Each structure stands twice: as structure tokens, then as C-alpha cells.
């Protein structure tokens, strides 16, 4: 199985098995969602992947992605902009 497409919550989720330039020789399930321009390497393919066990994993992965997007961003200053550590004083 190298391809799967299904509808979930009004979106079309398309999954394709393909390698990544960052991990040659390892195939990933690439997820594309209708209405989005980004594709996501959800997780590695497994020989036991079937439509029945892949669909809930993809839906859970996308739900987690949406939850992460909804979290407020934490802005931390760049390490060079942090205050200098104060040297301990000798007593």
C-alpha cells in the first residue's frame, strides 16, 4: 500500500508513502490536507500498515497537529539577548 485518501471532518486527507531527502532509504507517510499548502511526514511506513490501522493514526496525528497550532506561542529571547549571569560574590 503506497496511497490512501479519505474524508474526515470536512477535509480530504491524502497519504502517500515516499522517502525523504533527510532520511534516504526510509519511507514516510506524507500527509496532505485539503485547504493547506504544507505536507507533513507523519510517521514511518510499516509493513503491517493497512487502511484500517493507518486511518486512525493519521487522524490522531492531524488532531495533535491542530492542537499544537492552537497553543499560544512562547517567545523566548535569543540566547545572545539574555541577561548576563551574575558571578557569585565571595563572603
Run means of pLDDT, 10 residues per run, the chain, 91 residues:
95 96 93 95 94 96 95 82 73 61
Q: What is the pTM of this model?
A: 0.75
Residue 64 falls within a domain, yes or no?
Answer: no
Residue 79 falls within a domain, yes or no?
Answer: no
Provide Rg for the chain, Cα atoms.
Answer: 20
Q: Residue 48's domain spans which residues? A: 3-57
Which residue in 44, 55, 35 sits closest to 17, CA to CA? Answer: 44
Q: Using an 8 Å Cβ cutoff, are 44 and 28 in contact?
A: yes
**Tally of domains in the chain:** 1
Kindly report the backbone phi and psi dihedral angles of residue 18, in degrees, each rounded to the nearest multiple of 5, phi listed first. -160, 160
Tell me, what's the pLDDT at 75? Answer: 83
Residue 52 falls within a domain, yes or no?
Answer: yes
Amino acid at each position: 500500500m503506497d496511497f490512501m485518501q479519505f474524508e474526515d471532518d470536512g477535509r480530504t486527507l491524502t497519504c502517500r508513502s515516499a522517502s525523504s531527502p533527510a532520511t534516504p532509504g526510509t519511507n514516510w507517510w506524507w500527509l496532505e490536507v485539503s485547504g493547506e499548502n504544507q505536507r507533513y511526514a507523519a510517521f514511518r511506513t510499516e509493513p503491517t500498515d493497512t487502511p484500517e490501522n493507518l486511518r486512525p493514526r493519521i487522524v490522531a496525528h492531524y488532531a495533535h497537529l491542530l492542537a499544537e497550532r492552537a497553543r499560544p506561542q512562547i517567545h523566548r529571547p535569543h540566547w545572545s539577548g539574555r541577561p548576563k549571569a551574575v558571578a557569585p560574590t565571595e563572603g
